[in-house]
Amino acid sequence: MAMATNLNLDLPPAELREMILEQIRVRRKLAMEFNDRALMLLTEGDGLYSTFAVNMAKRQKLHNAVIWEKLRPVEIEKLLKSGIDREAYMDTDYEWRRKFFDERTN
């Protein structure tokens, strides 16, 4: 079990390579997020977990306001034309997504 992976070894080499590269990308992103959260816990507020949890809840509320599902169809079309699909959008940082929403015209 310790040697088991979630790789589909029955895939053709090119598809297996893509699967491996995607897993590397996702794991790097997760590692960076863990690092960011650890830094937040150590540097923001009073160092208490309860303060950290409250700050994280506030941060999550901000992030939820700029998710792909909140985009208008015309905005999705604009992003897709520029080469940014849902996955690429999710890989952008909060500040980029916030700016995109802030530039909206009513």
**Residues 39-79: pLDDT tens digits?**
888 887 787 888 888 888 998 898 888 999 999 999 999 99
Rounded distance between C-alpha atoms, residue 17 and residue 87, angstroms: 18
- Tell the residue number behind the tokens 């949890």, with chain if given: 53
3-state secondary structure of 84: coil
Question: Strand ranges (DSSP E) for 1-106?
Answer: none
Q: Decide which of 44 and 4 is more confident.
A: 44
Residues 45 and 55: beta-carbon distance below 8 Å = yes
Rounded distance between C-alpha atoms, residue 76 and residue 85, angstroms: 8
| pLDDT score, position 76 | 93
* Among candidate residues 88, 69, 76, the one with its CA nearest the CA of residue 22: 88
Rounded distance between C-alpha atoms, residue 31 and residue 25, angstroms: 10
